[in-house]
Amino acid sequence: MPVSGYEDLPLVSLGHAVAQAISLLPDIQKYADVAKQNCKEPAGGLTIDESAAIMLHTMNWKPIDKTLYVILNEALRSKDGRSLKSWFLFLKIFLTAFHKLPSIQRGTAYRGCRLDLKEYYKRERPVIWWGFSTCTNSIKTLESEYIVGKTGTRTLFTIESY
């Protein structure tokens, strides 16, 4: 379901925004502080907090299934909208930052994983993902062994932007 309810909230600091998620991710404040320390001169008109919100979303920590990326996407995909409410202040700052970034007007983006997902996704059928997914505009980037590599079981998504 589409996300709504965060739009009219005030834009707050990253520290304040993640405080509501501490019960879900006890170390989130620590990682938010690290992200802010690494965002001293953000580009693209972003504030330090906005840039750090994007960085925080992409950070990995252990266990991997307890990272912001994983837990937030679980809430976004949940049929129970209540699980998303603790993320509203973070979504406000995160999406405010994204709206400041240049968008791809037309082109192709790629997403891949090391799983066989053909039973879940049919070729040429539209898909709506209710989560944030990192993509690239370079197929070579996906072929990196760090991402999906060139061999083994993999699924590649080609996303056309019009």
User: Tokens 């197929």 — which residue?
Assistant: 139
**DSSP-assigned states of every residue in 118-150:** TTT--TT-----SS----BS-HHHHTSTTTT-S
Whether the predicted pLDDT of 97 surpasses 90: yes
150 vs 73: CA distance, rounded Å:
27
Which of 16, 40, 42 shows the shortest CA–CA distance to 29?
A: 16
Whether the predicted pLDDT of 161 surpasses 90: no
pLDDT of the residue at 151: 93
Handedness of CA 123, 127, 131, 135 (dihedral sign): positive
- 127 CB-near residues (< 8 Å, 6+ apart): 121, 157
- At 146, is the pLDDT very low, low, confident or very high (cuts 50, 70, 90)? confident
Extract long-range pairs of 29-36: CB within 8 Å, 24+ residues apart.
31/56, 31/59, 31/61, 31/68, 32/56, 34/59, 35/59
Average pLDDT over residues 107-118: 93
Phi, psi of 86 (to 5 degrees): -70, -10
Whether the predicted pLDDT of 2 surpasses 80: no
- Does the pTM surpass 0.85? The reply is yes
What is the per-residue pLDDT across 36-53, written as a single tens digit (0 to 9) for each? 999 989 998 999 999 999
CB contact at 8 A, 38 and 53 = no
Structure tokens at 157: 């998504």
12 vs 96: CA distance, rounded Å:
11
Whether the predicted pLDDT of 1 surpasses 60: no
- The letter for the amino acid at 124 is E
CA 22 to each of CA 64, 83, 90: distance values in angstroms, whole numbers, following the listed order: 16, 13, 12
